[in-house]
Amino acid sequence: MVKHLWTSFRLLVAFTILTAGIYAAVVTGLAQTLFPVQANGSLIRLHGQVIGAHMIGQSFTSPKWFDSRPSAANYNAAASAASNYGPTNPALVKEVKGNLTTFLKENPGVKVPQVPSSMVESSDSGLDPDISPAAAYLQAPRIARVDHVPLSVVKGIIASHVHGRFLGMYGNSYVNVLELNLSLRTWMHQHHL
């Protein structure tokens, strides 16, 4: 029996070194070599300071910026979760009505049927960094008015940030809100606004 225990112990040590050490080091090394941006969190920096990540949504509270999709987690990556409310749950109906009221108030002239569902329903993770191009274009008049930027410029910035469907057939077109706001900020700084 001691012989079997000794063999088992040696196998345990060997496989621990192999799977927890060597395998992890190889995978980490490959990730850092082949996909360094993604392996390090897809961070976005401005003047050397991290201001966000491509894959994590964040809140923009000023009317001068494009709004992100509503978040059930209040944009807290540590609390990422959906509300899991069913379609007949009064809490979901209240949330959607509240989000719709806020969106319409912030974007005068927009009618209820124009508002994409993604702008009134929280994303599943609560951290969705993207909105539909339609949601961005609906916000364009507000952005132009508040920031004193020509509407055609705002629409051009949106158009330049639309990501198409994956392989032309999977998913939907989208716009990353942080990238959009950074481009808007850059344009305004270049034009001293």
pLDDT, tens digit (0-9, with 9 covering 90-100), for 114-171:
999 889 988 777 788 999 999 999 999 999 999 999 999 999 999 999 999 888 888 8
164: helix, strand or coil: coil
Q: What are phi and psi of 174, to 5 degrees?
A: -150, 165
Is there a single domain that holds both residue 122 and residue 91? yes
Q: Are residues 25 and 91 in the same domain?
A: no
Tokens of 14: 């060997």
Residues 48 and 2 in one domain: no
- Give the amino acid at 78: A
Is there a single domain that holds both residue 24 and residue 64? no
Residues 129 and 97 in one domain: yes
CA atoms within 13 A on the CB side of 177: 26
* 158 and 70 within one domain: yes
- Statement to judge: residues 13 and 86 lie in one domain: no
User: CB–CB of 107/136 below 8 Å?
Assistant: no
Please state the separation of Cα 95 from the chain's center in Å.
20
For residue 136, the model assigns a pLDDT of: 97
Q: Which amino acid does the sequence have at 40?
A: N
Q: What is the pLDDT of residue 40?
A: 80
**How far, in Å, CA of 22 to CA of 173, rounded?**
40
Rounded to the nearest 5°, which phi and psi values hold at 53? -140, 150
Task: Give the residue carrying structure tokens 């999977």.
Answer: 170
Shared domain check, 166 and 102:
yes
127 and 158, same domain (yes or no) = yes
- 103 and 50 assigned to the same domain: yes
Residues 6+ apart with CB under 8 A from 173: 132, 133, 162, 163, 164, 165
Q: What is the pLDDT of residues 75-108, one digit of tens each?
A: 877 777 666 778 888 988 898 999 999 999 999 9
CB contact set of 32 (below 8 Å; sequence gap of 6+) = 39, 40
Write down the pLDDT at residue 103: 94
**121 in the same domain as 36:** no
Q: Which of 133, 123, 165 is closest to 66 using CA atoms? A: 133
d(CA 41, CA 34): 14
128 is in which domain, residue-wise?
A: 42-190
Based on the structure, what is the number of domains in the chain?
A: 2
pLDDT beyond 90 at 180: yes
Tokens of 24: 């992890």
Residues 27 and 102 in one domain: no
Question: pTM to 2 decimals?
Answer: 0.80
- pLDDT, tens digit, 9 for 90 and up, residues 23-79: 999 998 888 888 888 888 788 888 888 888 888 888 888 999 999 998 878 887 777
Q: Which amino acid is at 83?
A: S
